[in-house]
Amino acid sequence: MVKNKLFLLIFIIFLASTIYAQIYYRVDFTNKYNTNFSLDHPEEYLSTRAIDRRIKFNIPIDSTDLPVNSWYLDSLRNLGCEIVHSSKWFNSAVIKINDSNLVNTIAQLSCVSNVQLVKPIVNKDANNDKKTSTQYIDYENIKNKRVKIPNTIYGFSTNQNQMIGIHILHQFGYRGDGIVIAVMDAGFSGVDRVPFFDSLRLQNRLLGTRDFVYPDNNVYNKSTHGTSVLALMASNIPNILVGTAPRASYWLIRTEDPATEYIIEEENWIVGAEFADSVGADIINSSLGYTTFNLSSQNHTYMDLDGKTARASKGATMAARKGIIVCNSAGNSGNLYWHYIGVPADADSIITVGAVDSLGVLASFSSRGPTSDGRIKPTVCAQGAQVYTGTQDSSIIIGNGTSFSSPIIAGATACLLQKHPNVDPINIIQAIVKSGNKYLTPDNNYGYGIPNFAVADIFANDTSISTPIWLENSPYIYPNPFTSSLNIIYKSNKKDIINLALYSINGKQIFSNVYKLYPGNNYIVLDQLDSLATGTYLLSIGAHNPIKLIKN
């Protein structure tokens, strides 16, 4: 009898803990009737930048822009619910309650259409921060030149930046000025103090932070993952580490809880994207992805990967419809049982980024496509294996993951957008896609391949160009005749070097230099040719026959 009573007591305690453990729910509302806001006054809920983006790209302000009806939120508060956050795009709210028996009462409210568990109670202080680094390089050793650094302005960043041709846009002064990038991640430890971001802080280009996981927290005291992601875009230490958008402005948004994996993080992702939209972000980088969770009932299946099922994927598509360019990592499951991309990488109209190594060869971990409805994924690839980036203790790490290839592309996209501010986001994405080294032969490993942003610049200049003619005619040189500069696009099948020389018609050498080549389309600029006399010249490129050029 005593034994039975003990068992009954344990069962009651277990049942009670179960009842009180399920405390985060998503509540979906039926409508936005009688809202406090009006479509005629968007300045009440959107920033000037967000409104201007809509005007520029002819995007209507509609009911999805209106905040959730405050009366509905008050109805939940009156029942004892704490509002964690609300989504205007999905007309829903995430709430926290102490008694799961309250769910039935909430579901009976006339304004509520659905209630779903999104997260049980977990240890808030648990930490399961995922490490992707393989090697640390101490900053003191770097400053004291005790390690070998590539002798370029980019330092350790040289290969990963030049692989996608972003150094060409940088040379012409396009470094992301005036572009706002929202970085959605797990935390940004050290960003407020480490030297990689000195110029970001001093020039007031760190626009602000927001934590949607635990709103009262300091994003600088959490995960280092976002720090390393940000460094690939924003770092600016010449000759040591320079990101792909060193002069862009940034919002740091925490949506990921590295301690756990529950579907609430997709809700966090959505409101993070909504916040990015409201403050006028031009680009979102999300080095995040979701497949399976701590609660198996929340797991995704491959059939969910159609861009229309998972809420975060629908949120990413909505962000794209609002005129934001979304860059999302493909995932690191290529050599695991899941194999495929995650959520929201399956979303339509975004850039899903896979990973290659320093030679442009697909990284084994890079998640594969296609989506379950047959679309090619990833969209493009960038270096994601053996990537150099910064971390919270001022060290440089050599890391792996599509978490790192995505920000490389996001930062480069900012530079392209800076040069072409009036080209709509879809055409910017198409320009990047067309510049890929597998544009004519895409697959679900590389997508459209490794883009070259100098080539993407050409497509962004003229969105009517449908076929990259240099894929059949390499090298491709323009303009011819020329006046002050020459642009050379050279397709290579491997990482290589090539000699390039310019001669007068009489055979006198005027210029000679050796250039590194990467797999795919390489872009070379010969400038400062104004001083050349008018006439005929010969350009020698490797083993190709000399090409006749005319100087006007």
CATH code of the region 469-551? 2.60.40.2400
Poorest-pLDDT segment among 98-112, 142-156, 232-246: 142-156
Q: Report which of residues 481 and 188 the model is more confident about.
A: 188
User: How many percent of the chain have pLDDT more than 90?
Assistant: 69
Is pLDDT above 60 for 130? Answer: no
- Does residue 475 have a cis peptide bond before it, meaning omega lies within 30 degrees of 0? yes
pLDDT at position 150 is: 86
Strands 520-526 and 486-492: antiparallel
> What is the overall mean pLDDT for the chain?
90
pLDDT of residue 525: 81
Instruction: Return left, alpha or beta for 279; rule: phi > 0 is left, psi -120 to 50 is alpha, else beta.
Output: alpha
Highest mean pLDDT (candidates 20-34, 170-184, 473-487): 170-184
Kindly tell me if the per-residue pLDDT of 14 is higher than 50: no
Phi, psi at residue 102, to the nearest 5°? Answer: -70, -20
Query: What's the pLDDT band for 476 if we cut at 50, 70, 90?
Result: confident
The CATH 3.40.50.200 domain(s) of the chain lie at 133-461
**Residue 322: per-residue pLDDT:** 98
Q: Is 133-461 in CATH node 3.40.50.200? A: yes
If you write DSSP's letter for every residue of 332-392 in order, what string do you get? S-TTSSS-B--BTTT-TTSEEEEEE-TTSPBPTTS-B---TT-----SEEEE-SSEEEE-T
The CA distances from residue 534 to 462, 513, 541, in Å, are 28, 22, 21
- CATH 2.60.40.2400 in the chain is located at 469-551
Summarize the confidence of residues 16-29 as an average pLDDT: 71
Site of tokens 């996981």: 213
> What six digits make up the tokens of 508?
């006198």
Q: Report the run of H or E that residue 428 belongs to, with start and end.
A: helix 425-434
Q: What is the pLDDT of residue 446?
A: 98
Mean pLDDT of 254-268: 96
Give per-residue pLDDT as tens, 287-319. Answer: 999 999 999 999 999 999 999 999 999 999 999
Query: Can you give the pLDDT at residue 2?
Result: 41
pLDDT for 7 equals 38
Q: How far, in Å, CA of 498 to CA of 120, rounded?
A: 59
With cut-offs at 50, 70 and 90, classify the pLDDT of residue 213.
Answer: very high
Lowest mean pLDDT among 13-27, 58-72, 316-330, 368-382: 13-27
- Give the integer Cα–Cα distance in Å for 120 and 522: 51
**Residue 507: predicted pLDDT:** 83
H or E element in which residue 522 lies: strand 520-526
* Residues 383, 485: Cα–Cα separation, whole Å: 30
The structure tokens listed for 340 are: 């495929």
Give the dihedral sign, CA 499/502/505/510: negative
Three-state DSSP at 145 gives coil
- Return the exposure string of 341-372: e unless at least 16 CB atoms fall within 10 Å of the residue's CB, then b: bbbbbbbbbbbbbbbbbeebebbebbbbbbbb
pLDDT of residue 145: 67
Taking Cα atoms as reference points, which of 33, 29, 32 lies closest to residue 114?
29
Q: Is the pLDDT of residue 348 over 70?
A: yes
Going by pLDDT thresholds of 50, 70 and 90, the confidence category of residue 466 is low
Give 36's contacts (C-beta < 8 A, 6+ positions apart).
67, 69, 70
Q: Which of 31-35, 346-350, 481-485 has the lowest mean pLDDT?
A: 481-485
Check residue 17 and give its pLDDT: 43
Is the model's pLDDT at 75 over the cut of 80? yes
Q: Which of 10-14, 156-160, 395-399, 450-454 has the lowest average pLDDT?
A: 10-14
Q: Is the dihedral of CA 505, 507, 510, 513 positive or negative?
A: positive
Contact 357, 450 (CB under 8 A): no
Greater confidence (525 vs 351) lies with 351
DSSP letters spanning 84-142: EEEETTTTEEEEE-S-TTHHHHHHTSTTEEEEEEEE----TT---PPP-EEEEE-HHHH
155 in helix, strand or coil? strand
Q: How confident is the model at residue 483 (pLDDT cuts 50, 70, 90)?
A: confident
Local confidence band at 472 (pLDDT 50, 70, 90 cut-offs): low
Instruction: Look at residue 178 in the predicted model and tell me its pLDDT.
Output: 98
In the block, which residue shows the tokens 């150094």?
A: 167
